[in-house]
Structure 1
C-alpha cells in the first residue's frame, strides 16, 4: 500500500470519528436543544443555512471525490481494466441489489422516489470501521473496500445528476459546459472558474455539487494531487461533519419512532443497506472470481463478506440523496431513521464478520 493511499485512508478514518461526533451532537440538539430546524432554515442571502451546507460546502466534498476518482483512473487501482474490473463489478452489484430490494418492498407506494437511497456507501465510516480493526484486516482488504467505494461514488454521482435534476435550464447548462471547457484549458484558474461553474450548475437545475466532481475530474493529476492534499482534511474534518450536523438531527418524540417502525420506507432502506449490499457486493465478486478474477494480494476470501457488510454503511451520501428525493419533511425524517438503522446494523455486521475472519 502506497503512502498516498495510507494518508487518504487515515484522513477518512479520522474523519469518520468527526462525523460520528457531529451526528451525536445533531441528535442531542434536535431532541434536547433549541430549535434545530429553525436554525438550519435561517435565510442567508439566496439560500438558507441548510442549503448552503448541502449545495455549497458539499461541493468541496464532491471535489475531493472527483480528484480521487481521477487519480485512481489515471494512476491507481482503476488504471488497469483487468484490475479495476473486480471492484467495479462488486460496486455495481452493491448498487443494483439494494435498489431491487427497495423497489420490491415499496412497490410504488409512499417513498418510491427514494429508490437510490440504499445504494450508497459512506467512505469515511466504512474506512473508519476497517481502521478500528487495525492489523486484524489485511492491506488488500482495505484497498478493495476503497476501490469499491470509489466506483460506488461514481455511480451515485451519475444517479444524482440524471435522476434528481429538476427543471433543467438549457441556457445555464450550456454556460456550465462552456466553463468546463475553459477549466480544461486553464486549470490553474480552477478556483474562480469552479465558483462560476457551481453557480451555472446550480441555476441549471442539476444539483450544484456536480460542479465539484467536474472540477476534480478536469484538473491535471499534478495540480489535482496538490489540491487534494490541501483540501482533503477540510473536507474530512469540517465539511462532512458539518453536513452531518445539519442533516442528522431527528426528533424521536411525538410518536415519530413508532411511525417509522411501521413505515415500509424505513424497512426498505434498512433491507437495502444491510441485505442488499451484503448480497450484491459479495455475490457479484464471487461471480467475477469464478470468471477468472482475482482478489487483491493478501486479501483472504473470507474477508470479502465483511467488506460487503461494511459497504452497507450508507450514511453521508444516503442522507444527501434522501434530501433530494423527498419534499415532504415526514418522509425525509423516516428515511433518516432507516439510514441510521441500516448503517448501524451494517457496521456491526461488518465488524463481527471481519473480526472473526482474521481469527479463523
Structure 2
C-alpha cells in the first residue's frame, strides 16, 4: 500500500490579517533584517500567532516554513553525524538539521518557553549570527542559517529566563479583541477563507504582490551599508530610551537602531529619523524594560524634614496618623503590665534538719 503525502493547505494571506498592527510590523521588520534576532509573540490562544507566522513565509521568495516540535532533540535542530554513512562507508559526514532546512525562510517555534534552554540557546545563536556551528560527535561543521525566527508563548504557562528574553530582537504582546465590530470583521474574513481558500487568496493577490515586492526592496536597502544613514540626534534618542528603560548591556541599543533602519527601509525613506526610533521602541524594550523603570511616581509627597515616617510594602509613606490615607490603621494603645513576684530561693532540705550529736 502506497501512502501519498498530503499537500499543505494554502496559508491565510498576510495582507488580510486584521486587528494586529503591532504583530504585522514586528514580523515585517524581522523579515527585512533577519539579523535582529527574531520575534517573540506573547498572547492567549486564538490571536493569530501561527497564522501570521505562516503567512509571513509566503511573502519571502522561495522561503521554507519550518516548525520546531516541542519534542525535538538538539541533534535534530542543529544537525549531527550521519550514522548510516559512517557505518556503511566508514566516513564522517554531516547530517543537516532543522536550522539548515530553515535557511532563507521562517523557523516557527510554538510554546518556545517549554523548550529546554539548550535548544533555545542554539536557536537564538543561529538567528542572530546567521550561521550554525556544530562541534560534536567527532565533527566540526558550520553552514549558513539565515532565517526569521518566530517564537510564541502563552504567559499563563510560564516565561523565559531574562537572559533568553534579551536575546530576542523584538517582542509583541497580543490581547483578546474587545471591539465587537473588529471581532466580527476578523471572523468574517476567516470564514470566507475557510469556505473558499483560493477565491479568498485571489481577492488579495494584488496586495500580496505589493507586500512581497516591498519586502524585496527593503531587504536590498538594508544590505547596502551606505544607505539609510542616521544622525547623532537619532543615536542620542536611542540611548535615552534604553537608559530610561534601565536595560542591561547594549543589545537593546543595537536592536533599536537596526529596527529603526529596517522600518525606514520598509517605508522607502532616505534616512533614519527619530520618528522611526519612536515607532519601534516598544517592540524593542517590552521584554527588556526593568520593573523599576515602570514604577509610577508616589502619589503622596514625602513627609517634611523632622517628621517621623515609615514605609509600607507598597512604598507609600505614612506618618502614623489615621488621617494620612492608610485606611484601617489603628492608633497605638497602652498595654497593661502585670508585676511578676520574684521567685523565692530554694532551700536545701538538708539545711532544715538538725545536725546529729556525737555520742
Instruction: With the length of structure 1 as denominator, give the TM-score of the two structures.
Output: 0.28
- Structure with the bigger RCO (C-alpha within 8 Å, sep 6+) is 1
More strand by share: 2
